[in-house]
Amino acid sequence: MAVYEYRGILVATGKPTKGVRDAESPKALRTALRRDGILLTLATEEAKAKAGSRRNIDLMAMFRRANTSDVAAMTRQLATLVRAGIPLVDSISALVDQVEKDDLKRVLTNVRERLNEGSSFAAALEQHPKVFPAIYVSMVAAGEVSGTLEQVLERLADFLEAQARLKGKVGAALAYPVLMAIIGSGLMGVMMIAVVPKVTSIFESMDQALPWYTQMLIFVSNTLAGYWWLILPTIVLAVYLFRRWQRSPKGRYKWDSFALRAPVFGRIAMMLAIARFSRTLATLLSAGVPLLKAMDISHKVLANARLEQVVQEASGSIREGESIAEPLKRSGHFPPIVTHMIAVGEKSGQLEAMLENVANSYDSQVELRIQALTSLLEPLIIVFMGGSVGFVAFAILMPLIQMNQFVK
């Protein structure tokens, strides 16, 4: 059974509509849509649609992709349906009609098709790593084996919702300062390129030396106005080369090591990584995933090559019979309070609860630090923008005042 992206017209209202649906053939699709009151105008098989999307870039598709919040909501709904005793295939069919994002609808349709072919739920999800990460697949596999799929789905929903909340708080806190910086930079660029040259042109007729700050302003303005066509590509090329170096194994390791040592931001990056690692490991262990496999999955969510290496080395020590806390403590990158709580959790048999406590504590600290940082960044950006405008005004007005005094 193929999966089709279709466009059509609602017979009752005459309004256009679109969606994703599986059918044996285009003819069967047309018949099924006609029963639903839709007149089919265009149908594209999923494989062909993907090939065509490589040639035609849909900018609005960026906003229709499934994000963490969408997957969390879908998982919560699936857990409710499964707990109510509805078969898994029927539950996913209900979700296909429920979800709004085309990408997620297409993925769920493919998962349902694989389930009908006899595949396990985890194996069907594994085919879509961009939507369902390794932690999701591993927990579902553990839930299928242990017969606790509905509990696992609820834990996954809690985990994804917590991740989405933290990401949303961080993004919201940084949005205003970043927006101010971008607008301020744009205004200063326009002023230096379009306004300053016209004003400073009157200094050419002055038969006197200009102050150093006015000369510097004229030099910067002339450089930006005359060589912007060279400066912009140079900046773009520099960013591209930096990103390419950063994606290489050696470059990523060096940059991530530097990021952990950076003032202020390094501490926040470390706390974010440890919070993600602790919550992911706790969630996997609670679902019954073996410790070594849980460690292997959890290290991927750290998003820092240096910390990933530390966790991988810790996994090797665990295979040799060591505890979790000891190799993490030796690395020097995990704070003593974290390794101490992990050690207590191991000894008391409450490792999952201790890891959850670490994650909750660090999430709260990250939120407080980012709020404090953004509250400090906003006035600093305003002062910087005001100082820049003041410097431009001072560099222009002072020669005019001096000229006026000279005339008198």
- CB contact burial 335-364 (16+ within 10 A = b; e otherwise): beebbebbbebeeeeebbebbbebbebbbe
Total number of domains constituting the chain: 3
> Which pLDDT belongs to residue 202?
76
In a domain, 388, yes or no: no
Radius of gyration of the chain (CA): 29
For the segment 283-294, the average pLDDT, to the nearest whole number, is 85
Which pairing describes strands 2-10 and 16-23: parallel, antiparallel, or unpaired?
antiparallel
pLDDT recorded at residue 405: 65
CB–CB of 192/220 below 8 Å?
yes
Choosing from 146, 163, 180, the residue where a domain stops is 163
Whether 136 is in a domain gets the answer yes
pLDDT at 1: 62
Sign of CA dihedral 207, 210, 216, 218: negative
Reduced to 3 states, what is the DSSP secondary structure of residue 239? Answer: helix
**Is residue 93 scored above 60 in pLDDT?**
yes
Residues 27 and 78 in one domain: no
d(CA 27, CA 258): 59
Pair 290, 300: CB distance under 8 Å: no
Task: Write down the pLDDT at residue 253.
Answer: 92
**107 in the same domain as 33:** no
Percent of the chain past pLDDT 90, that is, above it, reads 12
Tell whether 95 and 146 lie within a shared domain.
yes
Range of the domain at 284: 265-364
In this predicted structure, what is the pLDDT of residue 392?
Answer: 86
Domain end residue (candidates: 163, 189, 219): 163
Residue 37 to residue 31: CA distance in whole angstroms? 10
Is 176 within a domain? Answer: no
Distance (Å, rounded) from C-alpha 112 to C-alpha 144? 16
- Residue 368 reports pLDDT greater than 60: yes
Name the pLDDT band for 173 (thresholds 50, 70, 90).
confident
Torsion angle defined by CA atoms of residues 92, 95, 101 and 103, in that order, rounded to the nearest 10 degrees? 10
Answer whether residue 359 is part of any domain.
yes
Q: Has residue 47 got a pLDDT over 90? A: no
φ/ψ of 142, rounded to 5, equals -65, -40
Q: Which residue has the tokens 């242990």?
A: 146
pLDDT at residue 58 is higher than 50: no
If asked whether residues 269 and 358 sit together in one domain, one would say: yes
Single-letter residue type at 264: V
Are residues 14 and 101 located together in one domain of the fold? Answer: no
Enumerate helices (H) and strands (E) in the chain, giving the number of each: 17, 3
Specify if 210 maps to a domain. no
pLDDT tens by residue, 194-237: 888 887 777 776 666 788 888 888 888 888 888 888 988 999 99
Task: Judge if 81 and 146 occupy the same domain.
Answer: yes
270 in the same domain as 356 = yes
Of 97, 131, 163, which residue is a domain's last? Answer: 163
Please determine, for residue 300, whether its predicted confidence score (pLDDT) is greater than 50.
yes
Out of 50-64, 65-79, 193-207, 255-269, pick the least confident.
Answer: 50-64
Residues 315/169, Cβ–Cβ less than 8 Å: no
**What would the mean pLDDT of 273-296 be, rounded to a whole number?**
86
Are both 276 and 342 inside the same structural domain? yes
User: Do the domain assignments include residue 222?
Assistant: no
User: Mean pLDDT of all residues in the chain?
Assistant: 83
**CB-CB contact of 352 with 324 (8 Å):** no
For position 117, what pLDDT does the model report? 86
pLDDT recorded at residue 227: 87
Q: Do both 299 and 329 map to the same domain?
A: yes
> What pLDDT does residue 207 have?
65
Query: What gap in Å lies between CA 75 and CA 92, rounded to an integer?
Result: 10
> Does 356 lie in the same domain as 329?
yes
**What percent of the chain is modeled with pLDDT above 70?**
92
- Rounded Cα distance between 79 and 56, Å, is 37
pLDDT at 7 over 90: no
CATH number, domain with residue 107: 1.20.81.30
In a shared domain, residues 79 and 52:
no
Distance from C-alpha of 136 to C-alpha of 126, rounded to nearest angstrom: 9
Instruction: Give the integer Cα–Cα distance in Å for 270 and 261.
Output: 9
- Check whether 184 has a pLDDT greater than 90: no
Give pLDDT tens digits for 147-171.
888 888 988 888 888 888 878 877 8
Domain shared by 33 and 96, yes or no: no
Identify whether 308 is part of a domain: yes
Quote the pLDDT of residue 408: 52
Specify if 114 maps to a domain: yes
